[in-house]
Structure 1
Amino acid sequence: MSGEGYDVTTRVTDVSEQEAVEALADAAAALGPVTQVVHTAGVSPTQATVERILHVDLLGTAFVLDAFAHAIAPGGAGIVIASMAGQRESPHTHEIEHALATTETSQLLTLPFLQPERIGSTVHAYALSKRTNSLRVQTAAVAWGRRAARVNAVSPGAIIAPLARDELSGPRGEWFEQVRKVSPAGRFGTPERGRRRRRLPARPAKPRFVTGADLLMDGGVTAALRAGELTTP
């Protein structure tokens, strides 16, 4: 922005390591009040194994939510980037959703239905991880709220960024092309369009009332699935 300067500090962090995430939160708090947290780290079905997806996308997000619940400043806000994939296979049974939402983070990957041999494919691992992201944001909103802070999730569809490009050129490329054709929007999204949408309105009337929510922003892909216009990959 014209006339504004920023100091930038970087820190390489493996979000699948609890100590590394906690150190990141501590380091951020040491620099000053933590008012905004945006968690985007993740790997896709084409990029990683079932085990790696579970450790990064599922467990890593839970670590971030926990660590920054202690670091976020009053009035602060967090965003977790989930995915429309989390809507694709949900809802699961009440017992499974309750376990995904409330199991103590260190015990998450001991849940029987999160064992790699039970999950099978990387596509299912990704969808299950992203559903867990949305559920963990709901429960994390309580802890964040104790610090007068908010946290929400955004579940985008195919946004043309490096992760999506890997999927488009991978074994599910034909499915994504079908997604583009049958979705109500008729196209894929771009990061630029997403940023413009999030700026309008700049100051919602009741921003503090929105927490623990998941904004589905997929161009109508989930609608097409529900209507039977599209099948899962």
Structure 2
Amino acid sequence: MNFDLQGRVAVVTGGASGIGLAVSRAAADQDMAVAVLDNNAQAVEAATAELQDRGFKCLGLVVDVTESESVARAVADVEASLGSIDALVACAGISQNTPVVDMSDEEWDRLVAVNQRGVFTVAREIGRRMVARGSGAMVVIGSTDTIGGHINHAAYAATKHAVAGFVQSAAIEWGRAGVRINVVAPGAVDTPLLRTKFDDETAQRVLLYNVPMGRLSRPAEQANASLFLLSDAASYVTGTTLCVDGGLTTGFFYNDQVH
């Protein structure tokens, strides 16, 4: 699948694992220069080595997206190494599985820091440059929790709702400058992290019982949606949320069955 993105520079936060790694690989396959930003040094090294061994132009950086100074240094390093940034996919995020009444202040604050502040810090830093240049596109990886709720996911859902509001407001601010920003909202994606929690039988019972397509998403499917929104094929799309969820949110939003 060709999105005509060759020669452009992409930054992918959380780009060394899960959906982020799929996006990094897909962007490289489009002949984009890719900056893989992640807080896991070992994963950054592995992802960067993989892409470079395949002949792609890639820069790996260990970054904490919750720290503005860390993000600013990373963005400057990307520009110095790869050139002006044309695209951002903000994948860095964490989840939780805690009832509201049992959640600590520390857990809540950590979710907000990574999922909400982390999107803001990188979008702000790169957005400044895109607006000044008059071009660019961003995708933020949300969730079906962006538009609904989920048992034991109150903090996670709160951050994902907040990110959608941020994206809508940024789209309004940046639209006349030629900068687009959208959300991709995945359903359940078949990642190594998910597989640590669910085998096939449990996934079918807990995650897929009301997904019309009846299967988990492949990470590459989320990456393809992201690249579409970055591409000129989506040149009139901004401020929206694209659900890539196998049809989950076409009906009543789910409540978990007994695990």
After TM superposition, the score normalised by the length of structure 2 is 0.64
Q: Find the aligned partners of 1:134 and 1:198 in 2 and give their Cα distance.
A: 15
Contact preservation (8 Å) 2:137, 2:230: no
Q: Find the aligned partners of 1:201 and 1:37 in 2 and give their Cα distance.
A: 11
Aligned to 1:159, the other structure's residue is in SS state: coil
Is 1:74–2:134 an aligned residue pair?
yes
Aligned to 2:208, the other structure's residue is in SS state: helix
Q: Supply the AA of the counterpart residue of 1:55.
A: A
Stretches of structure 1 lacking an aligned partner (at least 5 in a row): 91-120
Q: CA deviation at 1:71?
A: 2.4
Q: After TM superposition, list the pairs within 5 Å mapping 1:75-224 onto structure 2.
A: 75-89=135-149, 123-168=153-198, 177-196=205-224, 207-224=234-251
Contact preservation (8 Å) 2:184, 2:226: no
Aligned to 2:163, the other structure's residue is in SS state: helix
Deviates more, 1:150-159 or 1:175-184: 175-184
Q: Find the aligned partners of 1:2 and 1:25 in 2 and give their Cα distance.
A: 21
Contact preservation (8 Å) 2:59, 2:78: no
Q: Find the aligned partners of 2:230 and 2:119 in 1 and give their Cα distance.
A: 27
C-alpha change, 1:2 and 1:66, in structure 2 (3 Å) is: closer
Q: Find the aligned partners of 1:202 and 1:63 in 2 and give their Cα distance.
A: 19
Contact preservation (8 Å) 1:58, 1:129: yes
Report sequence identity in percent: 28
Aligned to 1:209, the other structure's residue is in SS state: coil
C-alpha change, 1:79 and 1:196, in structure 2 (3 Å) is: closer
After TM superposition, the score normalised by the length of structure 1 is 0.70
C-alpha change, 1:203 and 1:65, in structure 2 (3 Å) is: closer
C-alpha change, 1:197 and 1:131, in structure 2 (3 Å) is: closer
Q: Find the aligned partners of 2:30 and 2:91 in 1 and give their Cα distance.
A: 26
Q: CA deviation at 1:220?
A: 2.1
**Residue of structure 1 equivalent to 2:111:** 53
Q: CA deviation at 1:213?
A: 1.2
Contact preservation (8 Å) 1:160, 1:191: yes
Q: CA deviation at 1:11?
A: 1.3
Q: CA deviation at 1:224?
A: 3.7
Aligned to 2:62, the other structure's residue is in SS state: coil
Q: CA deviation at 1:190?
A: 0.8
**Residue of structure 2 equivalent to 1:97:** none
Contact preservation (8 Å) 1:53, 1:122: no
CA deviation string 1:40-83 (max 9, x = no partner): 10111159932211110111111122111112353321111011
Contact preservation (8 Å) 2:206, 2:256: no
Q: Supply the AA of the counterpart residue of 1:29.
A: E
Contact preservation (8 Å) 1:36, 1:76: yes
Q: Find the aligned partners of 2:115 and 2:152 in 1 and give their Cα distance.
A: 12
**Residue of structure 2 equivalent to 1:40:** 91
Q: Find the aligned partners of 1:137 and 1:174 in 2 and give their Cα distance.
A: 34
**What RMSD over aligned residues (CA atoms) do the two structures have, in Å?**
3.4
C-alpha change, 1:175 and 1:70, in structure 2 (3 Å) is: same
